[in-house]
Structure 1
């Protein structure tokens, strides 16, 4: 299990290959990568992501441990970036390895729902119209409730 919170970009192909190398007993590896998307009402100049070092890593590790136990994973990887990110930049990556594909997919979905709703990150969107903090969305909370 590896949990990383970093400012610098990550190499998706290299991280995926590294994750897959040790997975001889897995029948499925699922990866998901989140990217900064543009806004509907105004072009996004950047998204700034803040966090509290130490607290964030601990929270992500705890949810990764829960995912391993709940979905019988062989391995899990969570990478999440912080700092100033432009549209199209990778924000995060989740990889799960399990003996069966459903477990790998469900675990990745579980982790994404947690990261979207409960992970201790604060996001500010910056546009030509100004800056605003990203508020929690009802649909994200509802997605988390199914777990």
Structure 2
């Protein structure tokens, strides 16, 4: 009898990739700003720059392509809180990573907006850094 195929875990820590961020990377709209934020973290881990560009609000989106830094390794994501108020939301998180053998943390309070018809799509707008 064949062993069942083991699905990979999602980089964001939310379960199995296919049921978690994988469906958004494949084109489904993230239903909440929190789901979008988690999927964006996973896209950074997996080097999916096109997804990052597509989910960044046009008013603040970088014009240059988003590419993975070769020496950077993402280590984990911790969600500290999230709030939604209609078509705007914030997500506070800490992402841990290593570069050049040294560990770092990115603590960000990210802003999101929902735009468009049929319930709209969430977009990342910008972030501030509470610890600075």
TM-score (structure 1 length as normaliser) = 0.26
Q: Which has the higher contact order (CA 8 A, sep 6+)?
A: 1
Greater share of residues in helix: 1
TM-score normalised per structure 2 = 0.28
